[in-house]
Amino acid sequence: MAKPDARTLALAAGWKALFLCSGIFVAGLDEATVAATDLQGGYPELQPHLAALPATIDRAQLQVRVAFDPLLPPRIAVRTDHGCTQLPIGMSQAAVGERPVITPSTGASPLKAAELAAADARPWPLGDAEALVPHPAAAALARVSDSAFDGGFGQGGVTSAVVIVKDGKIVAERYRPGFDLHTPQRTWSVAKSLTSALLGRAQALALVDMSRPPLEDRPDPDARKAITIEQYLRMQSGLWTNGRGNRTDALYFGGATVRETAATAPMEAAPGSRFNYANNDTLMAALALDDLRLLEKRMAASIAALPTPSTMTTRGFAFDELLEPAGMTRTTIERDWQGNAILSSQVWMTARDLARLALLHLNDGQVPDGKGGMRRLLPEAWVKSATTPLGPQPEGKIRYGRAIWLMGFGDGLPAGSYGFLGNRGQIAIVVPSERLVVVRRGFDPAGVAFDHAAFTAQVIAALRH
């Protein structure tokens, strides 16, 4: 193996530091489990170097440090209020400063233990009670699920979880050893669909306008100021990317920030004139939520300034307005070191929370209110619009909506099916005509593509058996 260049080693060290930090301090896994999952099957140019890079896990400081160059500080990932944050290449431990004291726990929810237990005790889908129900097709569903774990639907695939929801109830569920209903994994690009839902919630509260740009502070001559949130969510910005899929290694593993990467991409086509799947487009759309982050800070400051003690808290717009109301209490949105949410990929979510996100859409943007009724989180007609292909589209038997993949165009799935898809086999398929949600999580190595359409089709066949 040729000697790697300095940047490759720095990125490999960043991958290792971040996944160890999130796996241990967010997901509650042990080092061996992280090494066998997230540290295997990664990008081919980084994977060969991971094992040889020495890692120091500092449980007192809630840090992971990975050495990669004798002349530079180690790469550092540190547990913060928002999962784990990666520091830039060259930033030393002394620059980390004071960090909040956080007790690591499986799920790493911002809720206190008693609050989390109470949330779990609620009926499904807000909690975990009464979630799994017997189904006449249980044996057939188990065979389909077992096939996913045994290498079916993609030779070499590594399945970690399967959750199948029919008519609002879980009818089949299985996990890889070491994982359970409360173990989150990185969503990869499934986070894009969460971004869409968050913006939908913000629009329902009249906090954003999809026809406006996410950044209002660009100078007027900058043509990028005309790109709307809607165009970003639909991958129609017209901005340049470094190839299909827009690898964003500098942000994901180099410790760069959203604003110094995504926000600096130059325009190369008219907005709305083409489809180009790009991490940067989602990251730009998510910047529309940045004003809400500033609002959170002002709320927190106001609470702290009250003359009498108060039990009021603000856990952030995403948690208070979407995640907790939908029952997604073990979902963590990680940020760059300047506080910008990395909502194109860097979210940790359990398989059940992913099923809850899918159910939110299946139920037209509504969730149970805990009183026998339904509470609307997303605007009326939001889901219909988000699952309708508008403007330029990708090639092949798939379409794209508002950060949601649209199916049923000759792929063997019923018309109107759609899904949230992410790297390494993160999948949630919604089949409205069947009142069905199919979730599969994985650690698929590079080059392996789990056949989500075939898997979902077999689930449908098993339910009809």
Look at residue 159 and give its three-state secondary structure. Answer: strand
pLDDT of residue 141: 98
Residues contacting 185, CB < 8 A, separation 6+:
27, 160, 161, 179, 348, 349, 350, 351, 426, 441
User: Is position 26 within any domain?
Assistant: yes
Query: Band of the pLDDT at 95, cuts 50, 70, 90?
Result: confident
pLDDT of residue 75: 97
Look at residue 56 and give its three-state secondary structure. Answer: strand
pLDDT of residue 309: 43
Distance, CA of 234 to CA of 250 (rounded, Å)? 23
Question: 339-389, pLDDT tens digit by residue?
Answer: 899 999 999 999 999 999 999 999 999 999 989 999 999 999 999 999 999
- Report CA-CA distances (Å) from 32 to 29, 122, 141, 397: 8, 33, 31, 40
| Pairing status of strand 75-80 against strand 83-86 | antiparallel
Number of structural domains in the chain:
1
Look at residue 165 and give its three-state secondary structure. Answer: strand
pLDDT(101) > 60: no
> How does DSSP classify residue 2?
P
User: Is position 428 within any domain?
Assistant: no
Domain that holds residue 39: 6-95
Residues contacting 432, CB < 8 A, separation 6+:
362, 416, 417
* Average pLDDT of span 400-420: 97
User: Is position 425 within any domain?
Assistant: no
The amino acid occupying position 57 is I
Angle, CA of 412, 414 and 418, to the nearest 5° = 100
User: Is position 65 within any domain?
Assistant: yes
Mean pLDDT of the chain: 92
pLDDT of residue 310: 43
* Average pLDDT of span 400-417: 97
* Average pLDDT of span 427-449: 97
The amino acid occupying position 378 is L
Contact 330, 161 (CB under 8 A): no
Q: Which residues sit opposite 333 in a β-bridge?
A: 347
The amino acid occupying position 40 is Q
- Report CA-CA distances (Å) from 215 to 267, 290, 403, 424: 15, 9, 19, 31
User: Is position 191 within any domain?
Assistant: no
pTM, to two decimals? 0.94
pLDDT of residue 278: 97
Q: Is 5 exposed, middle or buried (0-12, 13-18, 19+ CB in 10 A)?
A: exposed
pLDDT of residue 313: 46
Distance, CA of 414 to CA of 416 (rounded, Å)? 6
Element containing residue 360 per DSSP (H, E): helix 351-362
* Average pLDDT of span 205-219: 85
Look at residue 169 and give its three-state secondary structure. Answer: strand
Question: 260-283, pLDDT tens digit by residue?
Answer: 999 999 999 999 999 999 999 999
Look at residue 237 and give its three-state secondary structure. Answer: coil
* Average pLDDT of span 162-184: 97
Give the sign of the dihedral formed by CA 146, CA 152, CA 158, CA 160.
Answer: negative
Query: Band of the pLDDT at 102, cuts 50, 70, 90?
Result: low
Distance, CA of 29 to CA of 378 (rounded, Å)? 34
User: Is position 429 within any domain?
Assistant: no
Element containing residue 175 per DSSP (H, E): strand 169-175
User: Is position 85 within any domain?
Assistant: yes
pLDDT of residue 327: 97
Look at residue 93 and give its three-state secondary structure. Answer: helix
User: Is position 75 within any domain?
Assistant: yes
Q: Is the peptide bond before 125 cis (omega within 30 degrees of 0)?
A: yes
pLDDT of residue 94: 80
